[in-house]
Amino acid sequence: MTEELKDYIESLEHYINATPTGQMREVLTTANIIIQTLGNDNDTLRRLLWLRHGCDTGALYGDDGEMQCGHCIMDFKRMPAQEIENRWHTMVLLKLKTSDELKEELNKLFPKDSDDN
Ligand SMILES: [Zn+2]
């Protein structure tokens, strides 16, 4: 679970403890279960992405729960998902061997209107 989620849960607990209703405790318990489930799913999906993102396993570093790749310099445990996606697109562009492949990939990313041709 990320530090942001832990901070969010702690802030909710502080708020609920200051509220004298049992209903709020129930809401917090449900919210905690949902947040923990999402955090666990996030961890699992990041681990699978780290293991299967296409780089040689020799480039992967996974001691003590780390999920890093020395080839594409990505930290799958800490980097925001959007940053991972952006770097992934950059890696795809860098792997293209010909200018035709580059044009084709750029056309997919930034489609032109037919009037521009
Ligand atoms: Zn990699």
Q: What is the pLDDT of residues 81-114, one digit of tens each?
A: 999 999 988 888 887 777 787 778 778 888 887 5
User: pLDDT tens digits, residue range 25-80?
Assistant: 888 888 899 999 999 999 999 999 999 998 999 999 999 999 999 998 999 999 99
Q: Could you give the CA distance from residue 20 to residue 54 in angstroms, rounded to a whole number?
A: 53
Question: If you measure from the C-alpha of residue 13 to the centroid of ligand 1, how many angstroms do you get, rounded to a whole number?
Answer: 39
Position 115 pLDDT exceeds 60: no
Q: What is the largest CA-CA distance in the chain?
A: 67
Report every protein residue that has its C-beta within 5 angstroms of ion ligand 1.
Answer: 55, 69, 71-72
Burial class (CB in 10 A: 0-12, 13-18, 19+), 97: exposed
All residues at 6 or more sequence positions from 31 whose CB lies less than 8 Å from its CB, including other chains: 9, 12
CA 77 – ligand 1 centroid, Å: 13
Claim: this prediction has a pTM higher than 0.85: no
Average pLDDT value for the chain? 84
Residue 117: pLDDT over 50: no
- Taking the centre of ligand 1 as the mean of its atom positions, its distance from the CA of residue 56, in whole angstroms, is 7
